[in-house]
């Protein structure tokens, strides 16, 4: 592989590997708007937005050449342009207050993590919106809804994949299928993300199965019912944690840590990670056979949880400014812009046409096609083949992905869920009996209503 290709692919993973953390941080930062001070205080209601400029708030973007920023800031229409305001991942209170508005005014358009949309919809911070007149992937549309109404337009998808070297059939069956686990320990290594952050919550939801979280919007199950739903998956992972060195190490892993562990591990090894990890592995010669083909395979995570972001419009907008915001959103979801974000910035598209990389030339998507060609690099054809495999796999994974519970106070729910479920997997909770699950249920109930957990954070369920 040429140095140019390797550098480009490496930049893509180092840039996009933090996307989940950044998106969750943005949700926490902007959540201050929804459930801290009112969205439209006397001060912001009287603010004077900059004429002709829409402010777009988003989590930090380190994609190659800032593709998202380019997509936003090259747009103009009827005298309007857009300015991207990136929210720092630092979440101390002073920075949260500074990030809460642009020049004293609410942001015009928000790029929201799909898990945080219910918070903003329930608070009245964002307004209902009609989808642009084009096909979207069904699952990405669903996560933009709250109580049956569309509040977010799909912008970028994210869905987990399994990366395998060697024969990992048995490892995958033990970790992500619901079959009985054999008595003998697994041969090989299973790598996930179980550190104390939102990615850990998503991994634990995949262990349990999102179908077991489906009714949580209306009511949290009682302790016995919660135990019946959660215990099989959590006990399965608890056993793997005790027996498998990869699972044990995963307790301190985020996405980038997992990639490093995968690099250093001989097969058989399977890693659960996001599509952004593909570039890091494809850039390394050690993951290429003598004929240049990849020495690892990818497939969807069975029961993987859908991530990504949606575009939402502030409820403070009206008239020409609101119309301009909708026009910007239409622009950002066109197949051409989506193909550029995909091929050049590693953002998984939300429109079907952007996955058809072989049609880019015929459609006139020159920028996206150039990113796949990588100039005159001699191995550009190999990279295009690899990217085609990624596109097909990601689209299939999105179609079957599960969805996190659309709970208005999702951040608090996720924190409680993760602490209590993670303690079972890691063995910190040595007595996960019916009493434990009753406490677990009560803590989740408090969290879904926005109340803080009782006791110290480390003892939510004990």
pLDDT tens by residue, 13-71 = 444 444 544 454 455 445 444 443 334 444 445 567 788 999 999 887 766 678 899 99
Residue 256: is its pLDDT beyond 70?
yes
Last residue of a domain, one of 355, 374, 393: 374
Q: What tens digit of pLDDT does each residue of 264-286 get?
A: 999 899 999 999 899 888 878 88
- Same domain, residue pair 288 and 186: yes
- Kindly state the helix (H) or strand (E) to which residue 381 belongs, with its residue range: helix 380-399
- DSSP of 33-63, one letter per residue? HHHSS-TT-HHHHT--PPTTEEEEEEE---S
- Same domain, residue pair 180 and 295: yes
Residues 6+ apart with CB under 8 A from 39: 33, 106, 123, 124, 125, 315, 316
Residue 192: is its pLDDT beyond 80?
yes
Q: pTM of whole model > 0.85? A: yes
Q: How many domains does the chain have?
A: 2
Identify the DSSP state of 78: T
- Same domain, residue pair 72 and 138: yes
Residue 6 in domain:
no
* H helix runs in 124-253, sequence order: 138-142, 169-176, 198-208, 223-243, 245-249
Residue 110: is its pLDDT beyond 80?
yes
What is the CATH classification number for the domain harbouring 348? Answer: 3.40.190.10
Can you tell me the distance from the alpha carbon of 270 to that of 246, in angstroms, rounded to the nearest whole number?
A: 9
> How open is the CA angle 58-64-68, to the nearest 5 degrees?
30
Q: What tens digit of pLDDT does each residue of 212-240 get?
A: 998 888 899 999 999 999 999 999 999 99
- Same domain, residue pair 299 and 349: no
Tokens of 285: 């010669």
Q: How many Cα atoms are found within 13 Å in the side-chain-facing hemisphere of 397? A: 28
Residue 422 in domain:
yes
- Same domain, residue pair 319 and 293: no
- Same domain, residue pair 329 and 443: no
Give the closest residue to 155 by CA, choosing from 347, 442, 364, 409.
347
Residue 380 in domain:
no
Residue 93: is its pLDDT beyond 80?
no
* DSSP strand pairing (307-313 vs 153-158): antiparallel
Residues 6+ apart with CB under 8 A from 317: 108, 127, 325
- Same domain, residue pair 236 and 300: yes
- Same domain, residue pair 108 and 251: no
Across the chain, mean pLDDT equals 85
**Distances from the Cα of 431 to the Cα of 27, 425, 435, 436, angstroms:** 34, 12, 9, 7
- Same domain, residue pair 289 and 327: no
- Same domain, residue pair 234 and 370: no
Chain centroid to CA 129: how far?
Answer: 22
Residue 4 in domain:
no
**Tokens 């054809």 identify what position?**
381
- Which has the higher per-residue pLDDT, 384 or 454? 384
- Same domain, residue pair 201 and 333: no
- Same domain, residue pair 123 and 139: yes
Q: Give the residue numbers spanning the domain of 255.
A: 161-305+404-459
Residue 385 in domain:
no
Residue 393 in domain:
no
Number of H helices, E strands in the chain: 20, 12
Residues 6+ apart with CB under 8 A from 393: 161, 298, 299, 300
Give the closest residue to 53 by CA, choosing from 71, 70, 73, 67.
73
Residue 384 in domain:
no
Q: Is 292 left (phi over 0), alpha (psi -120 to 50) or beta?
A: left
Three-state DSSP class for 185? coil
Last residue of a domain, one of 374, 396, 422: 374
């Amino acid at each position: 592989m040429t140095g140019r290709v390797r550098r480009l692919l490496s930049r893509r993973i180092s840039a996009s590997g933090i996307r989940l953390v950044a998106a969750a941080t943005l949700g926490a930062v902007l959540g201050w708007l929804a459930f801290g001070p009112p969205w439209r205080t006397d001060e912001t209601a009287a603010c004077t937005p900059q004429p002709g400029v829409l402010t777009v708030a988003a989590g930090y973007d380190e994609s190659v050449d800032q593709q998202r920023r380019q997509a936003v800031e090259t747009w103009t229409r009827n005298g309007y342009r857009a300015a991207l305001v990136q929210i720092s991942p630092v979440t101390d209170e002073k920075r949260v207050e500074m990030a809460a508005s642009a020049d004293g005014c609410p942001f015009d358009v928000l790029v929201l993590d799909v898990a945080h949309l219910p918070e903003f919809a329930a608070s009245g911070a964002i307004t209902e919106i009609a989808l642009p007149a084009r096909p979207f992937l069904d699952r990405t549309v669903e996560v933009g809804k709250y109580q049956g109404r569309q509040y977010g337009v799909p912008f970028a998808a994210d869905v987990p994949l399994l990366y395998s070297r060697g024969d990992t059939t048995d490892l995958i069956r033990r970790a992500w299928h619901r079959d009985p686990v054999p008595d003998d320990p697994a041969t090989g290594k299973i790598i996930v993300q179980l550190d104390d952050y939102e990615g850990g919550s998503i991994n634990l939801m995949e262990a349990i199965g999102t179908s077991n979280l489906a009714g949580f919007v209306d009511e949290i199950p009682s302790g016995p019912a919660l135990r019946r739903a959660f215990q099989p998956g959590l006990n399965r992972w608890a056993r793997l944690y005790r027996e498998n060195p990869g699972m044990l190490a995963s307790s301190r892993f985020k996405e980038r840590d997992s990639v490093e562990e995968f690099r250093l591990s001989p097969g058989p090894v399977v890693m659960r990670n996001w599509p952004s990890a593909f570039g890091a592995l494809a850039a390394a010669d050690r993951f290429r056979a003598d004929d240049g083909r990849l020495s690892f395979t990818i497939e969807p995570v069975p029961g993987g949880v859908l991530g990504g972001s949606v575009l939402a419009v502030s409820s403070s907008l009206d008239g020409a400014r609101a119309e301009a915001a909708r026009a910007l959103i239409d622009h950002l979801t066109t197949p051409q812009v989506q193909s550029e974000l995909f091929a050049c910035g590693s953002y998984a598209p939300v429109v079907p046409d952007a996955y058809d990389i072989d049609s880019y030339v015929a459609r006139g998507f020159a920028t996206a096609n150039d990113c796949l060609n990588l100039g005159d690099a001699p191995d550009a054809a190999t990279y295009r083949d690899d990217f085609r495999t990624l596109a097909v796999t990601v689209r299939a994974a999105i179609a079957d992905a599960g969805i996190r519970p659309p709970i208005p106070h999702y951040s608090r729910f996720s924190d409680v869920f993760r602490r209590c479920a993670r303690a079972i997997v890691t063995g910190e909770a040595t007595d996960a009996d019916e009493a434990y699950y009753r406490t677990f249920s009560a803590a989740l109930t408090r969290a879904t209503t926005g109340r803080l957990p009782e006791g110290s954070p480390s003892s939510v369920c004990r």
